[in-house]
């Protein structure tokens, strides 16, 4: 099967990135700020400096982790028809944006902080969009108890969406992770069923360069033991938290992913693990992460090659035009950066609905990004390259200088082989434009008014509510 992929590294360069990452892990090591995780790593053969918290990992330990990590992962969903598995065969699975702190109100256009009702609306809209496969907890609910934000966000998203859910990092570490697993197990029908078809996966971010905070890494270990897929997201910023050179950034993000893999596999051999990065350069004029920088494509493509080398499922690119207002307020080259990054070989991408470098999210932008993705993902559809599809026998039948248009072979195969753009949706694709925003707003409102989400059984929902209320009381001391 032929699929368009973007390559960046030669075979020798790929080998160099790998060998330098191994050297970094064995000599520089990584800072692990959790005594519990340090003990597990030490028992597995890592060298732990207890005074500094630096852990050095020999190559043999990394190789053992690479061998034990599963090469295919099930991403379960509340509705089994929405189950997905990775790696993908052609284009990546699309996810919504995550953790935005403000939205543009769909009725008034006013910028305001996001609420739990907004989170429910984003979940319902992504549930309805065919182009979106994975539902992130898209916005930060500012009107719920912040101590239990993670579990409240997962519960709201599960109620309003039947696709696989990805949650962003929680702040309470292992305690939150255990409750999130307990909640999802109730919805899934038990811990064994959750392990077989995990309804959610968890983003776990290292702190570049080469550092792991205690809450995040202890939560990651809990997820590993429960069979919840962990998305190990390095956010190495060239010139700020990683060397300014693209090679230096690539080695750093690769090293962080390999260290994270070791942590997951020493916690539970065979734990589902997803190699991930959202690394980009910073803009030296503003100090802001630049998702649309030319070098972002190189980092995505390089990371994609490393994941294929290791045979690991991946999330090494993102999607979305990052306008300040709903629309496509970007240049042609910035759109090219977004598209080319998805050709890196990534199995998952995220960002639908994002504005303002992921600080904001808009419902109409979800629709715009989904429509654009429906078109652009066709660049990565699979094509059969075989003697049969070469159709030399048909060429012989048609003969020299004649037309294939009326041949039965064309009628039988053109719908499978050829894709033509939706002319109405194509009109939305004018760059530096917000003209499509009113129509997208209308589509979003119609979906929110009419789309019905498969409900969770009432008795299960009651048990979930009781679990959350009990957890909140325990944290408040009541």
Phi-psi region at 311: left, alpha or beta (left = phi > 0; alpha = psi -120 to 50):
left
pTM: 0.95
Q: Would you state the pLDDT for residue 478?
A: 58
Rounded Cα distance between 69 and 241, Å, is: 28
Domain(s) of CATH 3.20.20.480: residues in the chain = 67-380
Residue 171's pLDDT band, with cuts at 50, 70 and 90, is: low
Rounded Cα distance between 123 and 21, Å, is: 38
Average predicted confidence (pLDDT) for the chain: 95
The more confidently predicted of residues 288 and 72 is 72
Q: Write out the E strands in 242-357.
A: 273-277, 280-281, 314-315, 317-318, 348-352, 354-355
Token code pair at residue 337: 């950066």
Which of 407, 235, 420 is CA-nearest to residue 318? 235
DSSP 100: B
Inter-residue contact 366 to 129 (CB < 8 Å): yes
Phi, psi for residue 167 in degrees, rounded to 5: -105, 150
Which of 25, 18, 68, 67 is CA-nearest to residue 46? 25
Looking at residues 453-468, what average pLDDT do you find? 98
Looking at residues 97-111, what average pLDDT do you find? 95
Looking at residues 171-192, what average pLDDT do you find? 94
DSSP 45: T
Rounded Cα distance between 242 and 5, Å, is: 26
Inter-residue contact 314 to 307 (CB < 8 Å): yes
* CA angle (154, 170, 195) in 5-degree steps: 55
Rounded Cα distance between 156 and 123, Å, is: 8
Would you state the torsion angle of the CA atoms of residues 187, 448, 320, 310, taken in this order, to the nearest 10 degrees?
Answer: 20
Q: Would you state the pLDDT for residue 19?
A: 98
Q: Would you state the pLDDT for residue 382?
A: 92
Q: Would you state the pLDDT for residue 287?
A: 83
The CATH-assigned architecture of domain 67-380 is Alpha-Beta Barrel (3.20)
pLDDT for residue 211 is more than 80: yes
Which of 187, 182, 250, 239 is CA-nearest to residue 20? 250
pLDDT for residue 397 is more than 90: yes
pLDDT for residue 98 is more than 80: yes
CA of residue 478 relative to chain centroid, distance:
37
Q: Would you state the pLDDT for residue 170?
A: 63
Q: pLDDT for 232-288, tens place per residue?
A: 999 999 999 999 999 999 999 999 999 999 999 999 999 999 999 999 998 888 888
Phi, psi for residue 95 in degrees, rounded to 5: -120, 155
Rounded Cα distance between 197 and 411, Å, is: 40
Phi-psi region at 66: left, alpha or beta (left = phi > 0; alpha = psi -120 to 50):
alpha
Q: pLDDT for 338-369, tens place per residue?
A: 999 999 999 999 999 999 988 999 999 999 99
Token code pair at residue 157: 């998203």
DSSP string, 129-147: -TT--EEE--B--TTS-GG
Helices (H) and strands (E) in the chain, counts: 18, 21
Inter-residue contact 183 to 464 (CB < 8 Å): yes
Rounded Cα distance between 212 and 267, Å, is: 15
R_g over Cα of the chain: 23
Residue 41's pLDDT band, with cuts at 50, 70 and 90, is: very high
CA atoms within 13 A on the CB side of 158: 28
Q: Would you state the pLDDT for residue 284?
A: 84
Task: Give just the sign of the alpha carbon dihedral 247, 248, 249, 253.
Answer: positive
* CA angle (41, 47, 50) in 5-degree steps: 85
Would you state the torsion angle of the CA atoms of residues 311, 385, 74, 68, taken in this order, to the nearest 10 degrees?
Answer: -20
DSSP 422: -
């Amino acid at each position: 099967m032929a699929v368009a992929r973007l390559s960046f590294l030669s075979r020798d360069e790929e080998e160099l990135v790998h060998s330098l990452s191994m050297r970094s892990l064995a000599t520089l090591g990584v800072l692990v700020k959790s005594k519990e995780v340090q003990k597990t790593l030490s028992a597995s053969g890592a060298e732990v400096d207890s005074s500094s918290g630096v852990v050095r990992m020999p190559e043999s330990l990394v190789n053992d982790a690479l061998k034990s990590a599963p090469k295919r992962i099930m991403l379960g969903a509340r509705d089994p028809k929405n189950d997905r598995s990775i790696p993908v065969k052609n284009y990546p699975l699309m996810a919504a944006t995550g953790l935005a702190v403000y939205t543009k109100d769909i009725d008034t256009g006013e910028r305001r902080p996001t609420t739990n009702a907004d989170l429910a609306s984003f979940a319902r809209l992504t549930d309805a969009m065919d182009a979106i496969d994975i539902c992130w907890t898209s916005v930060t609910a500012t009107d719920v108890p912040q101590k239990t934000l993670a579990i409240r966000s997962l519960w709201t998203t599960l109620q309003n969406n039947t696709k696989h859910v990805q949650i962003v990092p929680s702040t309470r570490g292992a305690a939150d992770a255990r409750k999130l697993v307990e909640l999802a197990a109730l919805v899934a029908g038990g811990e064994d069923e959750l392990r077989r078809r995990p309804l959610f996966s968890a983003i776990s971010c290292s702190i570049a360069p080469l550092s792991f905070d205690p809450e995040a890494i202890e939560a990651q270990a809990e997820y590993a033991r429960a069979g919840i897929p962990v998305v190990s997201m390095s956010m190495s910023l060239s010139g700020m938290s990683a060397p300014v050179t693209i090679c230096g950034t690539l080695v750093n993000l690769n090293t962080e992913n390999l260290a994270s893999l070791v942590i997951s596999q020493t916690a539970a051999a065979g734990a589902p693990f997803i190699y991930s990065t959202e690394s980009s350069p910073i803009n030296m004029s503003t100090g802001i992460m630049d998702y649309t920088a030319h070098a972002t494509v190189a980092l995505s493509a390089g990371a994609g090659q490393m994941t294929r080398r290791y045979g690991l499922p991946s999330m090494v690119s993102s999607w979305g035009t990052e306008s300040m207002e709903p629309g496509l307020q970007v240049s042609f080259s910035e759109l090219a950066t977004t598209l080319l990054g998805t050709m890196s070989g990534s199995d998952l991408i995220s960002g639908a609905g994002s504005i303002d470098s992921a600080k904001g999210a808009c419902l109409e932008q979800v629709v715009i990004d989904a429509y654009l993705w429906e078109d652009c993902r066709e660049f990565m559809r699979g094509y059969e390259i075989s003697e049969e599809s070469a159709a030399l026998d048909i060429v012989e039948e048609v003969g020299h200088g004649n037309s294939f248009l009326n041949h039965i072979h064309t009628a039988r195969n053109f719908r499978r082989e050829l894709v033509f753009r939706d002319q109405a949706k194509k009109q939305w694709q004018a760059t530096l434009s917000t003209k499509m925003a009113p129509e997208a707003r209308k589509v979003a409102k119609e979906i929110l008014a009419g789309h019905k989400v498969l409900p969770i059984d009432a008795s299960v929902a009651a048990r979930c509510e009781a679990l959350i209320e009990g957890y909140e009381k325990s944290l408040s001391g009541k």
